[in-house]
Structure 1
Amino acid sequence: MKTLEEIREIFKSDKFATENFAVIEEAREKYAKCSVKLTDRHKNAMGGVMGGVHFMLADFAFAVASNCEHMGVVSVSSNITFLSGVKGDILYAEANCVKDGRTTCYYTVDVYDDKGTKCAAVTITGCHVG
């Protein structure tokens, strides 16, 4: 099993996530928790957190969870449902594998803030390509 530092090293080349301040908090096979400290760059014209931030963080958590031990999974379908506005200063995404089959996998990702508000629910279907 790779260490957290080794996993962070692998995923530092995920520029979109890392340049938007996404951080891997925890990772192991089929599970990951990532975070982003929110800044003005993450906000829309109304001052709320852009929905794309939720999705970026959820997609990153999925990528880490499904690839931290062996690279080769890509997402083929995602669905996000926004549940509440962000109330805190940090957003978290926690990805959990529900089913890992021979060619496809299915994950749920909970997105919540540091105040405990569940902000979005995401489901992602992935495909084993490598």
Structure 2
Amino acid sequence: MRRNLEETRAYADKDRFAVYCDIVIDEVGEGYAKCHMDIKDHHRNARGVVMGGATFTLADLCYGAACDFSAVSMTSEINYLAPATGDVLYAEAHVVKDGHATVFYEVVVTDQNGRKVAFLTMTGFKSK
């Protein structure tokens, strides 16, 4: 049985890097999660845009929340679509395939205006 929102947040609070990045889990459901990250100076690179690693970290935690932290990442591919220059980033993860031993997810990262800044695919091995 999947964790509810509060249980998912409590589990994610053990992820010290995600906590440092100020990532918040907003919604969870079966094979779905939505998260956001308020952008601070420590998220930005020398050009003033959000660091690619910060964008990836947001998407990775959102994927974890969507699969109820029940899969270990095997592969991930990220496509950066536009520079992230705003004040908030959002990630939405959706299951594409939930197999016997593996899962496959898509994650879309947008800015506060709904502009897509990154698209990810993630494959995980079910660990529980």
Cα distance in 1 for residues equivalent to 2:17 and 2:45: 18
Aligned to 1:94: 92
Residues 86, 117 of structure 1: 8 Å contact kept: no
Q: Which runs of 4+ in 1 moved over 3 A?
A: none
**Map 1:54-65 → 2, pairs under 5 A:** 54-65=55-66
Cα distance in 1 for residues equivalent to 2:73 and 2:50: 24
Aligned to 1:53: 54
Aligned to 2:42: 41
Letter in structure 2 aligned against 1:77: T
Aligned to 1:16: 17
Aligned to 1:114: 112
Residues 92, 109 of structure 2: 8 Å contact kept: yes
Give the TM-score taking structure 2 as reference length. 0.94
Cα distance in 2 for residues equivalent to 1:42 and 1:23: 15
Cα distance in 2 for residues equivalent to 1:125 and 1:79: 9
Equivalenced residue count is: 127
Letter in structure 2 aligned against 1:20: C
SS at structure 2 position matched to 1:62: helix
Residues 76, 121 of structure 2: 8 Å contact kept: yes
Residues 106, 126 of structure 1: 8 Å contact kept: yes
SS at structure 2 position matched to 1:108: strand
Letter in structure 1 aligned against 2:59: A
Cα distance in 1 for residues equivalent to 2:72 and 2:66: 11
Give the TM-score taking structure 1 as reference length. 0.93
What percent identity do the matched residue pairs reach? 44
Structure 2 unaligned segments of length 5 or more: list them: none
CA RMSD of aligned residues (A): 1.2
Cα distance in 2 for residues equivalent to 1:52 and 1:122: 13
